[in-house]
Amino acid sequence: MNLKLNYNLPAVPESFALLLIFIASLCCINSYDGSFAFDDSPAIINNPDVTSRPLSRLFENDFWGNKLTHKQSHRSYRPFTILTFRFHHWIRGQLNPVDFHIANLVLHTLACLLTYFVYKKLLSKDDQYLAFYSTTLFAVHPVHCEAVSGIVGRADILCTIFVWLSIFFYDRCIHLQNKYTFAGNLIGCTLCITAAMLCKETGITAIGLCFCYEFIIVHKKNIYNLSRIFKHQSCWDFYVNIIKTRAFIRFFILSIAGIILLAIRFGLMGFSAPTFQSIDNPASFINNFFLRCINYQYIYLLNMWLLICPHWLSFDWSMGCVPLINDWDIRIIPIILFWLVLIMMIVQSLILKPKSREMRHVAIGLCLMIIPFLPASNIFFTVGFVLAERTLYLPSAGYCFIISVGLKKLSHRFLTSRIILIMYILLIIFWFSRSWMRSEQWRNEISLFHSALSVCPRNAKVHYNVAKIASDLGNITMAESEYRKALRLNPDYAQAMNNLGNLLKDQEQYQEAKILLTRAVELQTDFAAAWMNLGIVLAALKEYDKSEECYRTSLFHRKNCPDCYYNLGLLFMERKEYSKALDAWDQAIQRDTLHRRAWTNTIRLLDDLGMAEKALDKGKIAMGLFQNDPTIHLNVANILGKLERFSEAEVEFQHAAALDNTNPTIYTNLGVLYHRWNKLAQAKEMYIKALKINPNAQSAKKNLKKLMKLLRKSNYIHDK
> Which pLDDT tens digit goes with each residue over 378-397?
888 888 888 889 999 999 99
Instruction: Determine phi and psi for 61, rounding to 5 degrees.
Output: -115, 165
**Which pTM value belongs to this model?**
0.85
pLDDT at 244 over 60: no
Q: Contact, 633 vs 603, CB < 8 A?
A: no
Arithmetic mean of pLDDT, 648-670: 91
Return the closest-CA partner of residue 708 out of 689, 673, 691, 683: 683
Arithmetic mean of pLDDT, 621-634: 91
Arithmetic mean of pLDDT, 370-383: 90
Arithmetic mean of pLDDT, 567-571: 95
Mean per-residue pLDDT over the chain, rounded: 88
Arithmetic mean of pLDDT, 40-61: 88
Helices (H), 8-96: 14-24, 40, 48-51, 79-92
The domain segmentation of the chain, as residue ranges, is 14-438, 492-590
pLDDT at 717 over 60: no
Measured between alpha carbons, how far is 597 from 612 in angstroms, rounded to an integer? Answer: 19
pLDDT at 162 over 50: yes
Q: Contact, 123 vs 130, CB < 8 A?
A: yes
Return the closest-CA partner of residue 193 out of 281, 248, 254, 115: 254
Please provide the CATH number assigned to the domain covering 492-590: 1.25.40.10
Measured between alpha carbons, how far is 210 from 327 in angstroms, rounded to an integer? Answer: 41
Strand, coil or helix: what is 61?
strand
Question: Which range, of 2-11, 119-128, 434-443, 473-482, averages the lowest pLDDT?
Answer: 2-11
Q: Contact, 112 vs 93, CB < 8 A?
A: no
Q: 300-351, pLDDT tens digit by residue?
A: 999 999 999 999 999 999 887 888 888 888 999 999 999 999 998 888 877 6
Return the closest-CA partner of residue 435 out of 143, 160, 152: 143
Measured between alpha carbons, how far is 440 from 454 in angstroms, rounded to an integer? Answer: 16
Arithmetic mean of pLDDT, 230-240: 56
Measured between alpha carbons, how far is 123 from 364 in angstroms, rounded to an integer? Answer: 10
Return the closest-CA partner of residue 461 out of 469, 396, 693: 469
Give the percent of the chain with pLDDT over 90.
60
Check residue 705 and give its pLDDT: 87
What is the pLDDT confidence band of residue 355, given thresholds at 50, 70 and 90? low
Check residue 414 and give its pLDDT: 63
What is the pLDDT confidence band of residue 427, given thresholds at 50, 70 and 90? very high
Q: Contact, 54 vs 175, CB < 8 A?
A: no
Higher pLDDT residue, 356 or 407?
A: 407
Query: Under 8 Å CB-to-CB from 35, ≥6 apart: which residues?
Result: 97, 443, 444, 445
Check residue 224 and give its pLDDT: 61
Q: 576-606, pLDDT tens digit by residue?
A: 999 999 999 999 999 999 999 999 999 999 9
Return the closest-CA partner of residue 126 out of 6, 5, 2, 3: 6
Instruction: Specify the amino acid at residue 450.
Output: H
Check residue 8 and give its pLDDT: 60
Q: 173-205, pLDDT tens digit by residue?
A: 888 777 788 889 999 999 999 999 999 999 999
Check residue 399 and give its pLDDT: 96
Check residue 462 and give its pLDDT: 94
Check residue 354 and give its pLDDT: 54
Check residue 678 and give its pLDDT: 87
Give the percent of the chain with pLDDT over 70.
93
Q: 672-694, pLDDT tens digit by residue?
A: 888 888 888 888 899 899 999 99
Query: Under 8 Å CB-to-CB from 372, ≥6 apart: which residues?
Result: 163, 202, 205, 209, 394, 395, 398
Q: 72-103, pLDDT tens digit by residue?
A: 778 889 999 999 999 999 998 889 999 999 99
Measured between alpha carbons, how far is 36 from 26 in angstroms, rounded to an integer? Answer: 20
Measured between alpha carbons, how far is 116 from 133 in angstroms, rounded to an integer? Answer: 9
